[in-house]
Amino acid sequence: METPVDSTLFPKITNHIAEVINTLRWQERDLDNPEKQVILEPIPIIGTVKLHGTHADILVFANNDIVLQSRNKVNLRSTSDNHGFATAMEKKRATLLRLRDRFVARWKKLHPGEELDTSLPVTIAGEWIGEKIQKGVALMHLSKRLVIISARINGQWVADKEYADIEAPEEGIYNISRGGIYHSILYPEDPQHTIDELEPLAERIAACCPFAETFGAIGDGEGLVWKLVPYISDPQLWFKTKGGKFKSTFAPVPKKLAAGFEEKQEAAAAVARIWCSEQRMEQGWDYLREKGIERSMKGIGVFLKWVQRDILVEERGYIGDNGVDEGMLKAGIIAIAKPWYLARVNKGEK
């Protein structure tokens, strides 16, 4: 399920450039002539390093109340935590309030004359990284720390570059800009051109994480998150490019739409095999941990529903454009995800 518009949870970011382009075309359509073809000029995009940790947000209100949350869970506490994030942040109240004040002061400087709605919190969106959070990346060699990846002020996501120096390194809170700010172009009328330019960069970052390298940790990274410069505040138009072992596997467009029961069943099973990647299964497994759900036979139903939902949301464009039967797709997902989960449980992993 997609994050509701009024939710404080961090938005889901697509892997699909085509989905971003389609959304933009829809937004830019001529309401008086909706059938008119929308031609989009090349658009500058700006990127930051994508970190492989666990998502962590800090919501700071005008009355100095602070709410901590993960990607899937609001109001984290030390008694209901996510890899020790809340426990660490509860000790840094004064620092978090100072960070909020710095973000607000910068916003006011950049938006003179605009009124700040004090009923809305300042959201400091981050990634909680470091030892024992994720495996197989350079970040695992660092002590646990928070990295600010975005901020939402006055109800709008702001341009990362304009707030790139806001951090508190003495308290273990850093800004993602340490890993570099990257610039490129989105070519809406030639998306393959964009892909060809962005993939080599994603591969370089996957081979050596530039953010971890600033702390002397050498090893694998993940990729980048890109935002369209004229539409920074719209997360529907954000997208990510990954490299190395994190590189997404995209289903090929079929030469013709499946017809008949058997063809549709095979088409659904084929994309299920592609989309039920090891990485997605791991994310579903970690979702149970984050939500405090026992990773045993008691959690299998929640796990399967999460995998199905994640695929249906992430791949909705492909599913609709290529006539994939959702019922058959769900069955194909279960056929792969269920034995994966059972094997994990039988290993005794918690």
Residue 253 inside a domain? The answer is no
Q: Residues 234, 288: one domain?
A: no
Domain end: 202, 220, 248, which one?
248
Residue 306 inside a domain? The answer is yes
Please give the chain's pLDDT, 350 residues, in tens: 344 335 678 999 999 999 999 999 999 998 888 888 899 999 999 999 999 999 999 999 999 999 999 999 989 999 989 999 999 999 999 999 999 999 999 999 999 999 999 999 999 999 999 999 999 999 999 999 999 999 999 999 999 999 999 999 999 999 999 999 999 999 999 999 999 999 999 999 999 999 999 999 999 999 999 999 999 999 999 999 999 999 988 888 888 888 899 999 999 999 999 999 999 999 999 999 999 999 999 999 999 999 999 999 999 989 998 999 999 999 999 999 999 999 999 988 76
Q: Residues 146, 291: one domain?
A: no
Q: Residues 48, 120: one domain?
A: yes
Tell me which H or E stretch contains 331: helix 326-346
Q: Residues 222, 265: one domain?
A: no
Q: Residues 53, 101: one domain?
A: yes
Residue 330 inside a domain? The answer is yes
Domain end: 227, 248, 269, which one?
248
What's the structural domain count of the chain?
A: 2
Q: Residues 93, 169: one domain?
A: yes
Q: Residues 31, 150: one domain?
A: yes
Cα-based distances in Å from 261 to 101, 150, 268: 60, 46, 11
Give the torsion through C-alpha atoms of 79, 309, 12, 38, to 10 deg.
-170
Give the torsion through C-alpha atoms of 255, 256, 258, 260, to 10 deg.
-130
Question: What's the CATH number where 152 sits?
Answer: 3.30.470.30
Q: Which domain holds residue 113?
A: 1-248
Domain end: 194, 224, 248, which one?
248
Q: Is 133 left (phi over 0), alpha (psi -120 to 50) or beta?
A: alpha
Q: Is 190 left (phi over 0), alpha (psi -120 to 50) or beta?
A: beta
Q: Residues 23, 126: one domain?
A: yes
Q: Residues 147, 244: one domain?
A: yes
Q: Residues 166, 119: one domain?
A: yes
Q: Residues 123, 178: one domain?
A: yes
